[in-house]
Structure 1
């Protein structure tokens, strides 16, 4: 039998993502008030709550777009609180957004490949001109990874389509594929089912459920959350009012009164 700690993480395992006492205030209003929770290796953790609960602010803090007034964010025990969004991404935190953000003038495959470009090819212009074996090998590995995530997200038939020409649901899947390309340590998904039809949402649930990476997601679709997440954190007015498994959250009278009602 697997023994779980107080946060629902298997006993003896290190928390991959650790949010500790995070507070954010806008003027006299606290958007987040001493928010703390942990996500373990390979877990899918959902953050839910009514509009204005602080979910997007929390994601901004975790991804580095907003620095908290108090508290810390740790990845595998490393404090990232003062680290820039770019450095967090390169450390393994990858995020999608509520509003789709794709490179419209690039193809679907080009969008995914862009996530790998920061690694560099080595050798500079000279290597490009002479086609060194190491450069050719790296390019082959990148193309293989692009093909892999396109297949995973059901985008292979659209690999050569320009992202700007796609409907919002397909663009959201392109964002997901791009976020997965560099094998993130933690994948942050902000309203991932927004704009998806029922079939695409089911496909997304299959993809997320089959990942071997840790996932933190914000989502309003309760069917998706309850069917996909291992654990759920409930926010209301900037505070954590409950954490637990989907079954525990469904049965919690405080959550039902504040949100699920």
Structure 2
């Protein structure tokens, strides 16, 4: 589902990523770990189209998207959350989640909005029901009418997750998903990920969460892949322990 091939990113003389290569099969949950400055968020920016690599390529479902915009990649089924939750503070929680469905359009244009065509009302009702389901899965259904700006970081992160999953993504990238979550929220987050019919790539400093949630882990250090294996092997890898796990 995700094919990262020989990706390098340079900022002047700084090599943020060097020849990073790995694939994530469809349906797999893969973690990316490493010390601060290892290049994890830069890698996410490359995969999602927010940054062009200096060299190398990224493919989704076998299609090269290296030169494709972030918007186009989202249309291909890729969604992402951020290290700092990105919510629309002046919108309610429900409207934040509904915003992820607006790109589909409503059919009939402005005229349909003005006259309130039955088909438009049915579509709106269907979207609201789906948004409600996403909020319920994330444990924040009771916050539907709250404004996102008024929420603490943990609940904002759950809003961002609900918005990411409402459209049934094929690929979901999660950047530090448990940061700011309490134990119950982290458990809920892991359960939601486990129930998704999607390919998941996540960056996380909580090693315990990664070991439990992921089937495979890629370890970055100084912009290079130093290990790529199942969690049990990563935990015992001497190179990984020296570079990150201690």
TM-score (norm 2): 0.98
**Residue 203 of structure 1: which of 188, 211, 231 is its match?**
188
Residue 107 of structure 2 is aligned with which of 115, 122, 143? 122
Aligned to 2:164: 179
Tell me which of 56, 61, 65 is aligned to 1:80: 65
- Which whole-Å deviations, capped at 9, do the CAs of 1:24-57 have from their partners, x for residues lacking one? 0111121100001111111110000001110010
- State the 1:134 CA deviation: 2.3
Question: Deviation above 6 Å: which 4+ runs of structure 1?
Answer: none
Shift of 1:133: 3.0
Measured after TM superposition, the shift of residue 136 of structure 1 is 2.1
How far apart are the structure 2 equivalents of 1:65 and 1:184? 18
Q: Does 2:36 correspond to 1:30?
A: no
CA offsets, 1:224-247, max 9 Å, x none?
Answer: 100000110000010001101111
Gaps of 5+ in 2: none
Structure 1 position 98, deviation (Å): 0.7
Offset, 1:205: 1.0
Aligned to 1:241: 226
1:41 has 2:26 as partner: yes
Matched, 1:220 2:208: no
Q: CA RMSD in A?
A: 0.9
SS at 1:178 equivalent: helix
Contact 2:170 2:197 in 1 (8 A): no
Aligned match for 2:54, one of 69, 76, 80: 69
Q: Secondary structure of 1:161's partner?
A: coil
**Preserved contact between residue 29 and residue 216 of structure 2 (Cα < 8 Å):** yes
- What is the aligned residue count? 246
